[in-house]
Structure 1
Amino acid sequence: MSDCNSESSCSSCSSAAGCNTDEKKQHAKKRLDERLSKIKYKIMVMSGKGGVGKSTVSVSLASALHALGYSVGILDADIHGPNVPKMFGMTQKGVVSGENGLVPFEAADGLKVMSVAFLLENDDDAIIWRAPVKHGMIEQFVSDVDWGELDFIIIDLPPGTGDEPLSVAHIIGGVDGAVIVTTPQEVALLDSRKSVTFARKLNIPILGIVENMSGMVCPHCGETVDLFKSGGGEKAASEMDVNFLGKVPIDPMVVVQGDSGKPYVLEVKDTPTALAFRKIAENVAKQTIAK
């Protein structure tokens, strides 16, 4: 990662000895603002608890937006469980510095990806970091990565309303929207409501709630089986006065495609699940662009 500690790395310093602390902060802020100015819409994908398919929704949303013709990047801010590269079939290790900063890896015909997973020598390594280190890493993933000109950056967050969501909100300063993922179960719904409250307290626009794993369409008869109930996410959205982005039915191929590194929405076209993901992406694009 770059640091403003020499005349060569910070040509605007008045002293050849390098930057003082205030200058470092000013130059870091300028670099961050320059990066963010090239990204039109910054979208956080949140969940109140784990196991609801948040990363699947993040990858599907990014891929569907990319398929709609938008330039898209995805920032994997789930520091302790960085699964986004796996879901894109990316096995690269290490990052490369280019003329304008760290070079993000590309998947799916140009969709840009950055994740702490690229920095791990072994995928089994645990990341044991406290909040300040995590904050610093997220800040560098925004300011030091050469994202270039993007229509959307999708930020995949860990479950809950703790360090990483707070860091993203603080670093970006003007998040354009939050997508909140839940399942129909009451336990998940209770926690998803906390994510709505979090976004409101930080003045982040709520694009809506996604009800993931909302029934399963039988491949034989076409009937929908409500394995984890259905309709809870829509009810929560109504009660909390936020948009309901849609129900995403369970499809075993979502797991198959995710494990194989081929995003479901790019490989499967006409299933209820694929159509639901595309409709959600269209809704997100419509809301953000209309602002």
Structure 2
Amino acid sequence: MSSSTGGNASNTPANANVGCVGPTSQNAGKVSACDGCPNKSACSSGAFSSPAAISAREAEKSILQNALSNISHVILVLSGKGGVGKSTVSTQIAMSLASRGYSVGLLDTDICGPSVPRMSGSLGHTVHQSQNGWEPVYPTPNLAVMSISFLLEEKDAAVVWRGPRKNGLIKQFLTETDWGGAEGLDYLIIDTPPGTSDEHISIVQYLNDARPMSINDSVSGTSSRGGASGAIVVTTPEEVSMADVRKELNFCKKTSVPVLGIVENMSGLQMRVSDLTFFRDGVHDNGGGVGAEDGSPPSSSSSIDCTNDVLSLLREKCPEVLSMIASVDVFPPTGFGPRGMAAKFNVPYLGKLPLDPNLLKACEDGTCFVEKYPISPAAKPLNDIVDNLILALPVEDDEEVEYAQADGDAMRT
């Protein structure tokens, strides 16, 4: 989907080809970008430009605009690669913002693999229908969560849906969820599945319809109030991940979604020495353990846990070591890594989030990491990312939130 060809991108079908001129264009169904598109016949026949079709689209836009009118900022969390920690970043940013006093929504659009309910502490809940629509789950008073997981009778049920049905549910999530009630939301964080196809195109299109750019924004050339407020792009440091993430950055460029920045996730394993576990391998074991004939260490099954001995020795001889951070690169960075990729695409680099066992535990337990583990290695990097996000997308005229944020900053320092 791209407006660079002169078409009306907001009217583009969700499953249209990239470069679609728009179904209401005089060239609809006739240009090279239409080749192979499932809508080619309908576009060339004028089905999308009929009075009835135009009226239906305008009605849909009105519904989307009403549903999202009370949301200050909508943030997409994207990555062309699976398994890089989008859900972790989405959930912990949402919970961190909520802990600072902001009103936050968290929408899980990964229809086939929803992770947000567990990570947000709302697993096992169901949503209820009210006169205002679906009531989202509130794991904390100012954090509203919505996911397909809340609609499934069996938590392990497989969702085997084609694109149009998934897109339809995403639209329902946006239009039929009572986001924040009458007071609305300061931030809506949208956790997306991997890739750059159906769900992503649909979300961008729905947001463009729901949040049209104002005249003043058009004059200034900014798009902070039109469509998505911006995207956080998540990657791990190695080239296998960055190759896909570059495609996601190009997707943002083609769909005019501002990139708020790149998060380098899982950037090395970091732990305090006091939290490490130590083993003595069988080669050096006085109790008779032996290694392989070639001198290599024995298997872990023959290793002996000597954590208590090592920690006792450190407390006695050099206690200052216990508070130091031990670090190891799990994913070796390629070239200049994500920081270099951010510079190449001229987008902000939001920093590194290390692999931190406490961060993973917070996600498993459904708790706010920065609140529960404020001195853990990943706490400051995550707080810095949230600080930069608030600076990029401030909430206007909210003295209470500003006070809560200042109070939180004082506690962290």
Q: Does the alignment pair 1:129 with 2:161?
A: yes
User: Which of these residues, 202, 214, 237, is aligned with residue 167 of structure 1?
Assistant: 202
1:273 deviation in Å?
0.4
Q: Does the alignment pair 1:155 with 2:190?
A: yes
Q: Which amino acid aligns with 1:164?
A: E
Q: Does the alignment pair 1:108 with 2:213?
A: no
Alignment deviations for residues 16-62 of structure 1 (CA, whole Å, 9 cap, x no partner): xxxx9877655443221112111010000011111111100000111
Q: Residues of 2 paired with 1:118 and 1:218: CA distance?
A: 35
Task: Say which structure, 1 or 2, has more relative contact order (CA 8 Å, 6+ apart).
Answer: 1
Higher mean C-alpha deviation, range 22-31 or range 70-79: 22-31
Alignment deviations for residues 65-122 of structure 1 (CA, whole Å, 9 cap, x no partner): 1122211000001111111011122234542111211111101332000000001111
Q: Which blocks of at least 5 consecutive residues in structure 1 are unaligned?
A: 1-19
Q: Residues of 2 paired with 1:61 and 1:246: CA distance?
A: 14
Partner of 2:120: 88
Contact 1:77 1:155 in 2 (8 A): yes
User: Which of these residues, 314, 332, 357, is aligned with residue 229 of structure 1?
Assistant: 332
- CA-based RMSD of the aligned residues comes to 1.9
Q: Residues of 2 paired with 1:215 and 1:263: CA distance?
A: 21
Contact 1:65 1:282 in 2 (8 A): no
Partner of 2:229: 176
Contact 1:88 1:261 in 2 (8 A): yes
Structure whose alpha-carbon radius of gyration is higher: 2
Contact 1:218 1:225 in 2 (8 A): no
Q: Does the alignment pair 1:213 with 2:266?
A: yes
Q: Residues of 1 paired with 2:395 and 2:64: CA distance?
A: 25
Q: Which amino acid aligns with 1:153?
A: L
Contact 1:93 1:119 in 2 (8 A): no
Contact 1:43 1:175 in 2 (8 A): yes
Change (3 A) 1:60 1:26: same
1:290 deviation in Å?
8.7
Q: Which amino acid aligns with 2:80?
A: G
Q: Does the alignment pair 1:238 with 2:238?
A: no
TM-score, with length taken from structure 1: 0.88
- Secondary structure of the residue that 1:272 maps to in structure 2? coil
Contact 2:76 2:232 in 1 (8 A): yes
- Secondary structure of the residue that 2:393 maps to in structure 1? helix
Q: Which amino acid aligns with 1:49?
A: K
Q: Which amino acid aligns with 2:130?
A: G
- Secondary structure of the residue that 2:68 maps to in structure 1? helix
1:262 deviation in Å?
1.7
Q: Provide the aligned length of Structure 1 versus Structure 2.
A: 272
Q: Residues of 2 paired with 1:112 and 1:165: CA distance?
A: 22
Contact 2:271 2:326 in 1 (8 A): yes
Change (3 A) 1:206 1:22: closer
Q: Residues of 1 paired with 2:270 and 2:53: CA distance?
A: 59
Q: Which amino acid aligns with 1:264?
A: F
Q: Residues of 2 paired with 1:244 and 1:21: CA distance?
A: 43
Q: Does the alignment pair 1:186 with 2:239?
A: yes
Change (3 A) 1:227 1:207: same
Higher mean C-alpha deviation, range 168-177 or range 60-69: 60-69
More strand by proportion, 1 or 2? 1
Q: Residues of 2 paired with 1:188 and 1:65: CA distance?
A: 27
